[in-house]
């Protein structure tokens, strides 16, 4: 890791303190629950939630998997996730305060599915490559990766990029679908598929139907939901 990488990681770590956790998105449950129709699970899987935050995904997936493992480098988030798990009396979830790369190195070919939800926009390209190569190594061959993130082409993201709207704290690299596909392929993933989801808040979600328009439709597709195979 270069000094530039380390400085960037230190800057990102500084964001995710107790204040950030306390103010974390109150719409997370609804935002994630709407992805369920696109997630394939049999109930026998051991799944990894990379950059798990406060563990919202466990609340949603616990009845659908054999074991859930959440990983996050923020001790504040891991503590919040454990409190959330215990409050819901969930028994098949565990959390680890760890960096993703060394965690994955300790668990090669172990997981039946991996989740990276609302995470990739928080890391630079060089970090993306390092982290998702590690994730690829922790997944069983053929296991599916699920990735959810804002779409750089969406008109509100364009306005943030141009300085018209205030950028969301920690969003250092919002990407479009093609960039995600290229990066995931470089990390060893295959069969990368893209689905466009509406914004999770109304009235922003009302623009989603405009995504079918020729030429300008791409500016009205708010969120990316990607699947890929290890």
Write the pLDDT tens digit of every residue in 168-201.
888 999 999 999 999 999 999 999 999 999 998 8
The verdict on pTM exceeding 0.85 is yes
pLDDT tens, residue by residue, 111-120 = 999 999 999 9
Q: Kindly state the helix (H) or strand (E) to which residue 97 belongs, with its residue range.
A: strand 93-97
| 83 to 76, 89, 223, 226: CA distances (angstroms) | 11, 10, 29, 29
| Among 180, 175, 183, CA closest to 152 | 175
Report pLDDT for 13.
Answer: 62
| pLDDT tens column, 151-173 | 999 999 999 999 999 998 889 99
Q: What is the 3-state secondary structure (H, E, C) of 19-78?
A: HHHHCCCCCHHHHHHCCHHHCCCCCCCEEEEECCCCCHHHHHHHHHCCEEEEEECCHHHH
Between 99 and 21, residue with greater pLDDT? 99
Domains of the chain, earliest start first:
3-229 (3.40.50.150)
**218 vs 7, 150, 183, 198, 212, CA distance in Å?**
34, 13, 20, 12, 8
């Amino acid at each position: 890791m270069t000094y530039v990488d380390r400085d960037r990681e230190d800057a990102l770590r500084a964001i995710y303190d107790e204040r950030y956790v306390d103010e974390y998105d109150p719409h997370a449950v609804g935002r994630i629950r709407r992805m369920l129709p696109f997630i394939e699970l049999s109930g026998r899987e051991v799944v990894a939630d990379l950059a798990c935050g406060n563990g919202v995904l466990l609340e949603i997936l616990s009845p659908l998997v054999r074991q859930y493992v959440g990983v996050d480098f923020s001790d504040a988030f891991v503590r919040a996730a454990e409190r959330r798990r215990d409050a819901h009396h969930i028994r098949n979830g565990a959390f680890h305060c760890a960096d993703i790369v060394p965690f994955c190195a300790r668990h090669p070919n172990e997981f039946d599915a991996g989740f990276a939800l609302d995470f990739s926009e928080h890391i630079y390209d060089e970090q993306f490559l390092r982290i998702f190569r590690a994730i690829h190594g922790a997944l069983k061959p053929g296991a599916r990766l699920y990735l959810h993130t804002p779409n750089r082409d969406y008109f509100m993201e364009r306005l943030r990029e141009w300085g018209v709207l205030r950028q969301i704290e920690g969003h250092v690299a919002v990407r479009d679908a093609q960039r995600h596909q290229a990066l995931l392929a470089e990390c060893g993933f295959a069969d990368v598929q893209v689905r466009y989801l509406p914004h999770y808040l109304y009235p922003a979600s009302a623009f989603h139907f405009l995504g079918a328009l020729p030429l300008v439709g791409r500016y009205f597709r708010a969120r990316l939901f990607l699947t890929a195979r290890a």
